[in-house]
Chain A
Amino acid sequence: MPDSQPNAVSVTINGTQIEAEAGELVIAAADRNGVHIPRFCYHERMSSVGMCRMCLVEVDTGRGPMLQPSCMISVTDGMIVDTESDQTKRAQEGILEFLLINHPLDCPVCDKGGECPLQDQTVAYGPGESRFIEEKRHYEKPIPISDLVHLDRERCILCDRCTRFADEVAGDPLIQFTERGNETQVLTFPNEPFSSYFSGNTVQICPVGALTAAPYRFKARPWDLEQVESTCTTCSVGCRVAVQSSRNELVRYLGVDIDPVNHGWLCDKGRFDFEAIKSPNRLETPLIRDPNDKDQLIETTWGAALAASADAIKEARSGKIGVIGGSRLTNEDAYAWAKLAGSVIGTNNVDAQLGDGLPGKVVLGLPGATIDEACSADTVLVIGPDLKEELPILHLRLRGAAKKKKVKVVEITPLQTGVSSYAHRSIVCRSGEAAKTLKSLLTSDDELSQEIRSGSVVVILGRSSLAESALPAIEVASVITEELPKAKFLVALRRGNVRGAIDMGLSPGLLPGRVPLENPNDEIKKIWAKVPTVEGLDTAGMLRAAADGQLDVLILVGADPLVDFPDQDLANRGLRGAKFVVAIDNFPTLSVANADVVLPATAYGEKGGTTTNIEGRVSRLAQLVTSPSAARDDWMIASELAWRLGGDLKFSSMEEIWSEIEQVAPSHNGITLEKIWADETRDGILITETSIQLAIEPSGETPVVDGYGLRLISGRKLYDAGTQTSNCASLSALAQDAELRVNPTELERLGIQDGSEVTIISTKATGVAIAIADESIPRGTAVLPFNNPGIRANLFINSELPVTDIRIETR
């Protein structure tokens, strides 16, 4: 702390004088100055409770030295702290002896053994021998408190970390202390499991082995783990993770604390989806359509599969080729595919999004905000998907900021979301009409409107429902740029590296480096053999063209339009209409089964590179395990295809690709490999520069729902029937069956019993689902999760319309 700091105080710790901030905890000041005070309950991201007493140190504030818990007292000027005095040591020995009275010492079978703070601190600060010879306390050994977490109460030292996390940070206070005195124990409430989306964090912060993760149970011991630091790509928040493997198999992810993004937390989906990577369902060899039996895909060689794909591309009419997908890719892979499409094939029919996000030009054209800016703005407007379901760590950060009264969260949503619980105001509007509601709010002289206008505003913008087109969200953007010109945006796109793929030009009308197609920069003209000039089609456009026989080859790069495109009927017609479909994927998805050639790609943890999160923050990925048999990196596949098409992408490693990106992409200029790999850039490098001018076209009115219909609202759940989740043994069971939720009065009106089967009728399809009466659903709407086991919402959605209305009937 520099001397100029007005509230700096001077403290002596172990004889060394240090400067600390007034109000800072002694333990935090010591940490910052390299003095380690042992602790169990103190956690820098949570409030202090002083439960364990392990951090007792001798503190002298002028009245003579006395033992005080350093996590509970703030520094004062002239304070003298001794963390190594005889008194302190005696206290530490005593506390540890007490903590070990009932600790079972089953370290050899405990998953925490070897990395256990209690073990380590007993060795470092303990008395060496115990005088306790009586029988220890016994409880039933491990009891599953949720599908993912086991609790062993014998091992628990009652530090209050898990219970505090569940209450303070996650907002799911589902575990709590029960009983009193010697019987005090952590427990869930009767018949209510600890089903939090963030339960895995309690396992990570547990200072003993009381909470262990079911997916990691007995999988490895700390000393046989190999570890690299990487970035999670399960959603687009980009949390920092430590990826750990044992014997070339991923066994665990741990959250790494970085300030701008995740604060050390991970959601359970991100934490446990490593199981998918070692799934036996992974695609391992290239597949090709059997010439004798058109319904079969048979194994083939890479040579044959690539040759067949290249021939199909060569035979296709010019410009009649489309590339869908790219959010699974690293930035380098995405650039390779953008270059293949643009420079070799010569098309701009590329789209990393599957009609489930916002147009690339809007994403890059809106003034961007960081997560930190959102968490320190005066007002955050949330108009988009349920953050808790789609971007859980962003939800956690926002919740933390709202609870600390740092931001006012105002939400405009068609139905209650995870954000509603901490929102300053949660305004429910009809699906598709957020812009209208927002406009009338901002133009009114409501107190809230004044509050919003008077301070800084960050808008978290996305698609509130996948049954809406992107139009309502774009309208919201246009209202905001008009009414609140200083507002910044955090675009809530969900998929892993979708932002990176857009940055790399996998979006119609864009070139790598956030450059518009109309105005290519000089470097790209120099380096690319040719630069496309005609703006291509987006995914919906490509599928429509393919359905009409206007597209010959469709390349799916980690895309499954049959499941992820909001309009299954169109996706289906598109895939059937295209003459030749090449699918590059990790898993045999529904769309892969419809392809003519299938190429297996390497997955997360099997390749290095970089990824970009929703803020535009580039951070590195690391390779730790090898891929199963014949899978290849996506950029290698692009390179091979280019060569077979008579072109040359001119790179032979991830590093070379990055160097080319650094040259070609103006926004990425100057971000060299050395910078990316430097220790200071663990947090990633934020890229804010963009050459895209935002142009929002005015659009028509949303149609009014008729008296008989219900407006369909469909969002994604954290645990759904998605490819990644359904290939994780531990997570797939957590996906709840799809149910149609409707307001009870609507069911009554239609004479439908709660919990009975109903027929859903839309202009696209008719299907059967269970109807559940739910008070929280606004009247006139029906909610069906987008992709949960049972019935998929994209069966009913018409992507040509701004909103989809359905009718329901008894069966």
Chain B
Amino acid sequence: MGYLDGFKITFGKLFEERVTTEYPKEKREKPDRFHGRHVLNRYEDGMEKCIGCELCAGVCPAKCIYVRGADNPEEAPVSPGERYGFVYEINYLRCIHCDLCVEACPTEAITESKLFEFSFDNRSDAIYTKDELVVDDQGLPQKQPWELWHVGDDLKTSGWMRATASSGNPAYENRVGWSGELGYGVREPERGQQFDESEPQNLDGKDDQD
């Protein structure tokens, strides 16, 4: 057929499913563990999970997080316990979305959403403050004027994206080891990497002998 071979491919592709999308009018589904911008979660009773321990800032390889703790006011506590996150800022000009902050957080206060489309036009907008990061009363992220959101984007916010199980022990995978979240309650565990439907779950981490 010679030169017509190329047209055959073109013609054939006309009837295949289209892989390109009309971005930004439509967006593709994001993978479960997609790393977007952060949210600061709250407990079901509305208390902030962040205790201002600075572990996220300490582990951050891009040094984009600035946290300061303060004494929790006794009459109107911000978080349970002695200490709360008084200042929380993330500079998205520096953040590389590596998620180490999420790994380091001892209270699951910081998680990442699927939101990543920012079009801020100045540097101070790029520094998200605590007021901008903390979830609203429904447990959903707050939309900033420069963020591109479609309906439903904000629903896929945190989810459990810890890459490792506690102590790195795979036996703990799929076990709920986290507290409830405002607007969602206790989230179902995500499918683990070694998850296999055919095998019975070993949730106690003990040897299967009985």
Contacts and interface: CB of A to CB of B under 8 A. Distances in A.
A and B: interacting chains: yes
A800 interface: no
Given A141-B82, A221-B58, A108 B71 contact: no
B82 A221 contact: no
B172 to A, nearest CB: 12
B81 A218 contact: no
Contacts of A114: 58
Interface string B132-175: 00000000000000000000000000000000000100000000
Contacts of B82: 109, 141-142
Given A217-B71, A218-B70, A108 B107 contact: yes
A224 B53 contact: no
B181 interface: no
Contact of A221 (B53, B71, B167): B53
Interface in A90-149: 106-109, 113-114, 129, 141-142
B54 A223 contact: yes
Contacts of A106: 81
Contact of B51 (A109, A141, A142, A217): A109
Closest 8 CB pairs of A and B: A108-B53, A218-B69, A109-B83, A223-B58, A221-B54, A108-B106, A109-B51, A109-B82
B51 A224 contact: no
A114 B58 CA distance: 10
Interface in B78-126: 81-83, 106-107
A142 B71 CA distance: 11
Interface in A185-242: 217-218, 221, 223-224
A220 B81 CA distance: 17
A617 B82 CA distance: 44
B62 to A, nearest CB: 15
B182 interface: no
10 contacts: A108-B51, A108-B53, A109-B51, A113-B53, A114-B58, A218-B71, A221-B53, A221-B58, A223-B54, A224-B54
Interface string B49-64: 0011111011000000
Contacts of A108: 51, 53, 55, 106-107
Contacts of A217: 71
Contacts of A107: 106
B58 A224 contact: yes
Interface string B22-57: 000000000000000000000000000001111101
A214 to B, nearest CB: 10
Q: How large is the interface on B (under 10, 10 to 19, 20 to 34, 35 or more residues)?
A: 10 to 19
Q: How large is the interface on A (under 10, 10 to 19, 20 to 34, 35 or more residues)?
A: 10 to 19
Contacts of A129: 167
B83 A224 contact: no
A113 B54 CA distance: 11
Instruction: Say what secondary structure dominates the interface of chain A.
Output: loop
B207 to A, nearest CB: 16
Contacts of B83: 109, 218
A223 B57 CA distance: 9
B58 A218 contact: no
B107 to A, nearest CB: 7
Q: Which of A106, A107, A141 has the most CB of B within 10 A?
A: A106
A141 B71 CA distance: 12
Q: Which of A109, A217, A221 has the most CB of B within 10 A?
A: A109
Interface in A348-391: none
A217 B84 CA distance: 12
B49 to A, nearest CB: 11
A335 B140 CA distance: 64
Q: Which of B51, B82, B167 has the most CB of A within 10 A?
A: B82
Nearest to B55: A108
Nearest to A221: B54
Nearest to B63: A224
A116 to B, nearest CB: 13
A463 to B, nearest CB: 42
A224 B60 CA distance: 12
B90 to A, nearest CB: 16
Contacts of A218: 52, 68-71, 83
B82 to A, nearest CB: 5
Nearest to A217: B71
A109 B53 contact: yes
Contacts of B69: 109, 218
A551 to B, nearest CB: 50
Q: Which of B68, B81, B167 has the most CB of A within 10 A?
A: B68
A388 B155 CA distance: 65
A217 B52 CA distance: 12
Contacts of B53: 108-109, 113, 221
A223 B60 CA distance: 12
B160 to A, nearest CB: 19
B7 to A, nearest CB: 63
Contacts of B52: 109, 218
Contacts of B71: 217-218
A224 B55 CA distance: 10
A221 B70 CA distance: 12
A105 to B, nearest CB: 10
Given A108-B53, A109-B83, A218-B68, 12 more contacts: A106-B81, A108-B106, A109-B51, A109-B52, A114-B58, A141-B82, A142-B82, A218-B69, A218-B70, A221-B53, A221-B58, A224-B57
Nearest to B167: A129
Contacts of B68: 218
Contacts of B51: 108-109
Contacts of B58: 114, 221, 223-224
B81 A109 contact: yes
A610 to B, nearest CB: 34
A597 B71 CA distance: 41
